[in-house]
Structure 1
């Protein structure tokens, strides 16, 4: 049976168009069947012409169900990966990102590794990692008015630039604080290095099971980022004091207007996002690489041999305050006698 690979490209970028043609050709040469969205195929035919038309590419869903593909190769930046995750959400398809953008936290490789990325797919040289996602439910006047999901974050923001929005934040059914602000971000560990990071939130390692809530420019004494249990229910209510509306954004892609009195509940989703991983680079190293962090002066942990040669000197238990004071007085008396 022919192996099928989905290619998702940011067809509005020339480098992504060229990369898509290269990937499709190499997959075909390796005996795999490239699959693309119908609109992406049309865009590539317009941009490239005959060079692309010679490659037999199947149309996703019409000729090949997305769920039948073994992996999706995403050519673009983190935004392209978020778009791809939305498109294949119901297919349980792992995504391998090739970064053609700037930071590219979600990507597995860079543009210089395009050929290697194709080879990893051909040889099935990758593991599948699960990333926590968010389930988002919206209520108003006791009525359910909308639902969505997010890989990075769900953010409630003010609808009018010159006015704050009044919000109440809640964790597990208990109110925590009320304040006027520009908004609140509720994020996964994956999203902790995105919008939540820009708003002053903590960096959370992807392996950590937790949810994050970060107020944005809140006028309050207590408006600190909160890190809560992954099974907690985070909620935000839009107050009706000034009749100001809010806006809900999920991953910066899906938007919904929040009338005064709206309530947004965010929990861990039952459906994680699957990422195809090749490199086992520690997340700390990814932070250093992506943010170009200075590490000058780092000496590193001791080698095993050095650890085994530890000396036998033991630290003594701390003295009591009375013993320390007595020792100080004795030392001063001796010094006075010597003068």
Structure 2
């Protein structure tokens, strides 16, 4: 049976296209069929060359067919990426040898129920961000957990995130960093006008709800991973729960998440155990 690897890149970045061409040629020399920016059906691996946005786009393709995703960072932070461009020869060799492990990252399923009862669905690996649709108005949001109301306030938005998304939009909004092996859901209000509007962390079996209160005509829009939108007019209810299908990430090294966190955010660790170098 022939082997197939899907290679996805950021076509707007010449350096990414060049790197993808080199990776594709190397894989073909090892007898592996390469598909460029197509479907993941029948592929053993999806290799992504780009930044976090490109990796999130690739996740949409890989998740459908339960194919592991291997990211090579050609962007800025690249939290979902596993390797840097200077390691491309080793990455190809490891992919050819199938020398990698696979970990599953929790996702969320998102349902927006409009006042008319229409349901609109989506999913995310990072977050569902409920944001105001009108720049000059706040969203009046009622927050619920497991069928009970928790708080109501006006805000610019509410981020409902996974542990993977805790270092993305939720982090920018003041939320905690959650290790990816911790199964949890996060609620992070954005610029809330309230005394109690602190981030919350709940269990993976909990169901989160945000009701867009029908005060005036200010509605909201739900952004799934900053890529896909669902309109939520006044009176809508947004429901978020653990996703039925995870995203699978290929891993090449066993560096703990703490090491990845320090490296990606360039955190100061001087003085730790006598100034030992970071991993």
Question: Where on the TM-score scale, by shorter chain, does this alignment land: which range?
Answer: over 0.9
- SS of the residue aligned with 1:293? coil
Write out aligned runs for 1:244-263 (5 A): 244-263=218-237
2:164 is matched with 190
Write out aligned runs for 1:253-332 (5 A): 253-299=227-273
Q: 1:92, 1:144 → 2: CA distance? A: 29
What stretches of structure 2 of length at least 5 have no aligned partner?
A: 275-279
1:75 to 46, 49, 68: 49
Question: Which one has the bigger helix percentage?
Answer: 1
Write out aligned runs for 1:4-153 (5 A): 4-37=4-37, 60-61=38-39, 66-141=40-115, 143-153=117-127
Quote how far apart the aligned CAs of 1:141 are: 2.3
2:277 is matched with none
Computing the radius of gyration over CA atoms, which structure comes out larger, 1 or 2? Answer: 1
Quote how far apart the aligned CAs of 1:9 are: 0.7
Q: 2:73, 2:100 → 1: CA distance? A: 17
Q: 2:42, 2:71 → 1: CA distance? A: 19
- SS of the residue aligned with 2:118? strand
TM-score by length of 1: 0.79
Q: 1:162, 1:259 → 2: CA distance? A: 16
Say what the alpha-carbon RMSD is for the aligned residues. Answer: 1.0
1:231 is matched with 205
Contact 2:63/2:248 (<8 A) preserved: no
User: Which stretches of structure 1, 4 residues or more, deviate above 4 A after TM superposition?
Assistant: none
- SS of the residue aligned with 1:15? helix
Quote how far apart the aligned CAs of 1:142 are: 5.4
Question: Which one has the bigger strand percentage?
Answer: 2
Aligned length: 274
What stretches of structure 1 of length at least 5 have no aligned partner?
A: 38-59, 301-339
Q: 1:159, 1:183 → 2: CA distance? A: 10
